[in-house]
Structure formats: structure tokens, C-alpha cells
A and B are shown apart, each in its own frame.
Chain A
Amino acid sequence: MSIKSSAITPEKVYKRRRVLMAAGAGVLGVPLINKAYGLFQDKQEVEAPFPQVVSLPGEKNQPLIPTPYETITTYNNYYEFGVGKDDPSKAAKTLTTSPWSVDIGGEGSDKPGRYDIADIKGESAIENHIYRFRCVEAWSMVIPWNGIKLSDVIKFALPNSKAKYVRFTTINDPQQMPNAGWAGGPYVEGLTIEEAMNPLTLLSTGIYDKPLEQQNGAPIRLVVPWKYGFKYAKSIVKIELVEKMPKNTWWLQNKREYGFYANVNPQFSHPRWTQATERVIGELGRKPTLLYNGYAQEVAHLYPDLDNRLYFY
């Protein structure tokens, strides 16, 4: 499998290419699209600005080419700012992300308190990770995240024996978010403590070495690369270590279509669409979806039963 597209393309070239892609689609017919698309590609391979941290067995020499920054910052799901993909990038500037503090607590924490984001970041080193990003809507990107390990923050909160799950809460302020409370309250997500302690799990503070934009969940958002994108709680104001499994927003919205674990698995389809393949944003065609989004080596041990649908929606 080859990964095409270049990471950094001048906007003009990028837009012109779209027209060519469409023209190609219309005129040449589909079998030729990929060929035509290849011809229009900029040939220079952009050096990945980030170290590859995680790769796939057998695919170690295939670097992930990050999606262009412009795409990552204009194609977003952030319902508090509107349900269209381009709504958040237009509307989210109204969110003030500095100063920002995060409440850390819950019955599982022996050191609860309100912490300034600088203190949280200051406790641990910023890491760079290029991860695949797979949305439950069957599209994907590759994102070069900057962030800290969630496990560092949890250790900082001194977890006790009651810390079985971690509950994340997104800011929900009608003053700053035009569609706040769309789900009847703040956006809530959750992980098991084992998932939260996994070294892949990040609290991201930036993309491409730039501070997160509001539409991407500034100033701090969750990153769990083996799960569907809705698990990545954005603009987090509260992190709680709890004993009971948190009821996450999309699960509450539609229990048939969204669950708690939401691990990527091509074998288990969403009730309304197949998860076997995905559309790579900015490219034509589809590519096969990987079990645990390609991170099986790192996380498969967390889920003893591969046939249990509970884990995969």
C-alpha cells in the first residue's frame, strides 16, 4: 500500500489540484482517476517533521504522511460550534482558551484540585506523535500531534483503588459556543484506566508544532489513536478518576450506533455504513481500515475478546 499526497502544499496548488481532480473524474472515468491524480501530485516528498513513534508490523518502512494543516483545521466535527464540517473553523474563534484551567478530581484521585494548563503541561515533556486518525464516519487523516502523555497527568492526580475509569468533560458555554448544550449538557467522554495509562494516549496541546486551534479542541484535547474520533474529547475542563463507567455523549445520543469502547475494527460495521474501509481526506478512493486503527501491537492486550461487539462500536 502506498501513501500518496504531500504534507505541505501551497494553498493555490492544493486548490488547483482539486479542480484537476474533478476534471479528471469527469472526463477520464474512474479507472484513470488515480493515474491522473498521481500525475498532478507534487513529486517532492516532504520530510516528516515529527518522529514516527508508532508503526505497523510489516509496514515499518512506510512513513505516515501527515494531512495538510489546512485540511486538519477546516474539516472538523465539533457540534458545539455547529454540525457542518466547516462550521467549527468559522465559528470557534469566539472560544477563549487562555487562561484555562482543568479540574482534576473524582473519587479515584487523592490529589484533586484545579490546575492551570501551564502547570499541567509543565509537569511533563511535550511529545510529538504522528498518528492515524479514524472517524466513526469512515473517513481518516494522519495528524502530527504535540502533547503530553495522559498517564503523566493521571499519576499527578495520585490515583487510588477507586480509579477504574477516567471521565473527560468538554467546556459547554453558550456565551462562547453557538451550539452549546446540543447534547443536553456538556460533551462527556471516557476511558478505562488501562486505556488512559497506555503510552499511546495523549492529551494534545498542538498540531504541526502550532498550538491547537479552537476547532481542533484548544487548548487541550484527548487523543486515543486506536479508537474512533468521537472519543477524542476536546477543550477539556474536567478530568475525573471514577469507579463507574462514564456515560459518554454519543452513547447517550444513540445507544444502537455508538458505544463506550469505540475501538476501530473493520469487521464490525456501523449500523448505517461499513467500517471495512475508509476515505482518506484529500485523496480519491478508499483504503482498508486496520484493526485498532493499526495499533493492535500496542493495545490488543486490553481487549480479551475480539468477537465481542461491545468493544467495537
Chain B
Amino acid sequence: MGLRWLPLATQRHLMNTGLCLLLILGSFEAIMGPDLVSNLRDFTGTYGAYLLVASLLFTPLSHRFKWVKRNLWMRRNIGVWGFIYAAAHLVIWIVLEFYFDWALMLDEIKGNLFILLGIFAFFLLVPMALTSNNRAVKFLSFRKWQLLHCLTYLAIPSVIAHHFMAQKTAESEPLFMGLVLILVFIWRYRHVH
């Protein structure tokens, strides 16, 4: 990226602004459609999944590409924004889709693996999002922090399974993300051994 001449803090701000703008503009477009509820729900869910999968790619790619290695800091921002999109997705589901009708929500969740997976993934993402800052790394010690963040390897596959199972038919998009995940896992396995 040709932004190396900018101070790191500025690069970081630019990135956050970009991802925030994407969320705002995407939501705006979703609102313009005929069904704002499902548009907002699907936009935040899908893009949240993209961002979370993207955050997993940094480590393997940093071994191959210098540019990625130099910009490893982006992983944190992308991961946190993935969480923000996921949180928006959950809030939209509770507020706009179900209007705080907890009984109805419970009825929908009951025996419904794909929603359970989504909720499970979200709760795994919370501690990671909360500890995505330097102070938390210091407080926990790097090793403990790293161990905690291994939860991504449980959370993100759950996100992709949730995305896949939410479709009416087998769609290529979640399948592609699943494939990417499998490649990341293969790399991880081979890298450790």
C-alpha cells in the first residue's frame, strides 16, 4: 500500500474510518431497499463474516508476503470491526426482526442449530473484542492473551457454519469462505508440525 509515508496512527485512523463508512453506507443502501430489516440483517452478517475470515488470513499470509507482515497491525482493526458488524447483526435481529419479543425469539432459537451457532460464536467473540488492545495484552501477559485469542479458531468456523446454514440452498459464497477456512487450518496444522 502506498501509504507507508503516513504515520502509523493515521493509517490506522484511515482504516477505521473506511470500515465505519462501509458500515454506514451499506446500511444506508440496505434501508433504501424494499425490506430494510432483512437487508440490514444480511448486510451486517455477511460483511462481518468477511471481515472475521479476513482477520484469520493475516498470520498465514504474513509468512509469504512482506506487505502483510509489515501491516500485521491491521488484523486487530479488521477483527474488531468484524465484531462490530456481528454485534450490529445481533442487535438488528433482536430489535428489528423480533421487536424484543423474547418469547418468540426463544421459540425461533429452540432446536435451531444455525441460530445457536451464531449466538455461540458471538459470545466467543466478546472476550476477544474486549481484549483487543495493548493494555489487555500486558494485563493478561502475551501467552495468556494468545491462548484466549485461539478462540477465533472456534468462533469463526461457527460463524461460517451459521452463514451457510442460514441459506435456503447451498450458496457458493459461504462455501468459498469455508474453503478459505479449511486452507487456513491446513496451514496452521503444517506450520505447527
Interface residues of A (CB under 8 A from B): 15, 18-19, 21-22, 25, 30, 70-71, 74-75, 79, 83, 85-86, 137, 139, 182, 253, 269, 271-274, 276-277, 279, 281-282, 284-286
Most A Cβ at <10 Å: residue of B27, B37, B171: B37
23 chain-A/chain-B pairs, Cβ below 8 angstroms: A22-B36, A25-B95, A70-B34, A71-B34, A74-B33, A75-B34, A79-B169, A85-B33, A85-B34, A85-B35, A85-B38, A269-B107, A272-B165, A273-B108, A274-B104, A276-B104, A276-B107, A279-B38, A281-B34, A282-B34, A282-B35, A284-B99, A286-B104
Total of A-B residue pairs, C-beta within 8 Å: 69
Task: Return the CB mask of B85-101 against A: 1 if under 8 Å, else 0.
Answer: 00000000001111111
Q: Which residue of A lies closest to B106 (CB)?
A: A274
Contact for B34 among A74, A182, A273, CB less than 8 A: A74
Measured in the bound complex, the distance between the Cα atoms of B101 and A285 in whole Å is 10
Measured in the bound complex, the distance between the Cα atoms of B41 and A85 in whole Å is 14
Contact for B100 among A30, A79, A85, A284, CB less than 8 A: A30
The residues of A that contact B107 with a CB separation of less than 8 Å are: 269, 274, 276
Measured in the bound complex, the distance between the Cα atoms of B151 and A237 in whole Å is 53
Contact B101 A286 (CB under 8 A): yes
Contact for B169 among A18, A21, A182, A282, CB less than 8 A: A182
Contact B31 A18 (CB under 8 A): yes
Across the A-B interface, give the 9 residue pairs with the lowest CB-CB distance, nearest first: A75-B34, A71-B34, A274-B108, A22-B31, A18-B31, A274-B107, A281-B35, A285-B99, A74-B34
B122 interfacial contact with A, CB 8 Å: no
Interface residues of B (CB under 8 A from A): 27-28, 31-38, 95-101, 104, 107-108, 112, 114-115, 165-166, 168-169, 171
Contact A253 B169 (CB under 8 A): yes
The residues of B that contact A274 with a CB separation of less than 8 Å are: 104, 107-108
The distance from the CB of A89 to the nearest CB of chain B, in whole angstroms, is: 10
Measured in the bound complex, the distance between the Cα atoms of B169 and A277 in whole Å is 23
The residues of A that contact B34 with a CB separation of less than 8 Å are: 70-71, 74-75, 85, 281-282
Measured in the bound complex, the distance between the Cα atoms of B98 and A215 in whole Å is 29
Contact for A139 among B31, B35, B96, B108, CB less than 8 A: B35
